[in-house]
Amino acid sequence: MENEQLLEVQDLKTYFYTERGVVRAVDGVTFDVKRGRTLGVVGESGCGKSITSFSVLRLLQKPGKIVSGQILYHKREDDGNEEVLDLTSLNPNSYTMRSVRGGEISMIFQEPMTSLDPVYTVGNQIVEGITYHLKVSQAEAREMAIAMLGRVNMPEPQRVVDSYPHQLSGGMRQRAMIAMALACRPSLLIADEPTTALDVTTEAQILELLRDLQKEFGMAIMYITHNLGVVAEMVEEAIVMYMGKVVERAPVRDLFYDPKHPYMIALLQSIPKLGRKNQARLQAISGMVPSPFAIPAGCPFHPRCPKFMPGVCEMSEPPVVDLNSDRYVRCFLYQ
């Protein structure tokens, strides 16, 4: 039961065909999410972590396109039978895809103000999803929406259900988003930087809520973030992305106590850590994230890498090195 696969992404490539050239936003990403577990996706802006989740939900806008790869979703029916869907082969507008989206996999976003519709009440927006996926009447759906709002610790759910998004604070909007996402009891929740726009005390509330809800509903969470503190607290396993590639995958303790990829090592050293005041300088990563139109040859991290090996790193792409069954790194150092 514990290690059942829920989502398997294999060698996913999502490219954007723009006038200036092809942007390889996601370039051969492989990972899996197990039922009821939490996977973290770590990386800086532009590394392709959000595009990966949009690809899974088939929400890519033009000129983005899934070029190759498979996204296998293990859909479990009520009678316990399992059906494996390859989401890449489905039409994004097909009935099956639409029933997966929101019913099986749902998503919460960073900025709840831009992802909630300002002209509909919170209740309307939650009810819309419920009536689409479940066979219930409007009145029942409304009751479910109120119950769900109560479950996410929204103050006065009876009143809030008829409120518009602008009447809520940032933290309350994020609670409304979570209520909407979980109303149909999805098996997988994709959380894309859900607390980045929130204050620390509100962030703490939302993280606590997500943990409680996961315990209660048993859904798997794919947690996308650049905040290493949040990763350390929320996830069991994580993949680290850089320029559209997964550079390391490891259980979270290994990732923080014994990081392997030079990028992950450098990231950990570059953040100021609470409770360790010293006047010493931070160890910054030199240079900057390269332009997506000019990804360096070989290992994309080589121009910034402190362990750069001339004649090796810039010549060819580093292979994926399996360190043990649940851990791999994409670097020549470990060959």
By CB under 8 A, name the binding residues for other proteins: 44-45, 155, 169-172, 199-205, 207-208, 226-233, 252-253, 256-257, 266-268, 270-277, 281-285, 288-289
Tokens of 307: 């362990």
b/e map 9-27, b = 16+ CB within 10 Å: bbebbbbbeeeeeebbbbb
3-state secondary structure at position 257: helix
Residues 6+ apart with CB under 8 A from 222: 7, 33, 38, 39, 41, 53, 188, 189, 190, 191
Task: Give the containing element (helix H, strand E) for 309.
Answer: none
- What is the separation of C-alpha 181 from the centre of its chain, rounded to a whole number of angstroms? 14
3-state secondary structure at position 200: helix
**Helix and strand element counts for the chain (H, E):** 11, 12
Tokens of 128: 């819309």
Determine the residue type at 34.
Answer: K
Of 42, 43, 60, the C-alpha closest to 51 is 60
Residues 6+ apart with CB under 8 A from 282: 269, 270, 271, 272
Query: 149 near 126, Cβ under 8 Å?
Result: yes
Q: How far is CA 29 from CA 91, 209, 291, in A?
A: 21, 30, 19
Render 131-165 in DSSP notation, one character per residue.
Answer: HHHS---HHHHHHHHHHHHHHTT-SSHHHHTT--G
- C-alpha angle with apex 185: 208 to 59, nearest 5 degrees? 95
